Amino acid sequence: MNYENKSFSIKSWAEDDRPREKLLLKGKSALSDAELIAILIGSGSRSESAVDLSKRILNSIDNNINKLGKLSVLDLQKFKGIGEAKAISIITAIELGRRRRLEGALELSKIASSQEVFNIMQPIIGELQHEEFWIIYLNNSNKVLLKEQSSKGGLTGTLVDVRLVFKKAIELFSTGIILCHNHPSGKLQPSNADKLITSKLKSAGDTLDIKVLDHLIITENAYFSFADENLM
Average pLDDT of the residues in 139-148: 91
Q: Which residue has the higher pLDDT, 153 or 88?
A: 88
- What was the pLDDT predicted at 157? 55
Asked if residue 89 and residue 124 are part of one domain, the reply reads: no
Q: Is residue 231 part of a domain?
A: no
Using a cut of 0.95, tell me whether the model's pTM lies above it.
no
Q: Which residue has the higher pLDDT, 103 or 22?
A: 22
Of 46-55, 79-88, 132-141, 154-163, minimum mean pLDDT range? 154-163
Going by C-beta distance under 8 Å and a sequence separation of 6 or more, which residues neighbour residue 16? 22, 25
Asked if residue 135 and residue 216 are part of one domain, the reply reads: yes
pLDDT in tens, 53-107: 999 999 999 998 888 888 899 999 999 999 999 999 999 998 888 887 777 656 5
* Number of structural domains in the chain: 2
Residue pair 109/143 in contact by the 8 Å Cβ criterion? yes
Going by C-beta distance under 8 Å and a sequence separation of 6 or more, which residues neighbour residue 96? none
Q: Is residue 69 part of a domain?
A: yes
- What was the pLDDT predicted at 176? 97
d(CA 17, CA 10): 8
Q: Does position 2 have pLDDT exceeding 50, yes or no?
A: no
Q: Domain range for residue 43?
A: 3-103
Rounded CA Rg of the chain: 23
Of the residues 54, 80, 103, which one is the last residue of a structural domain?
103
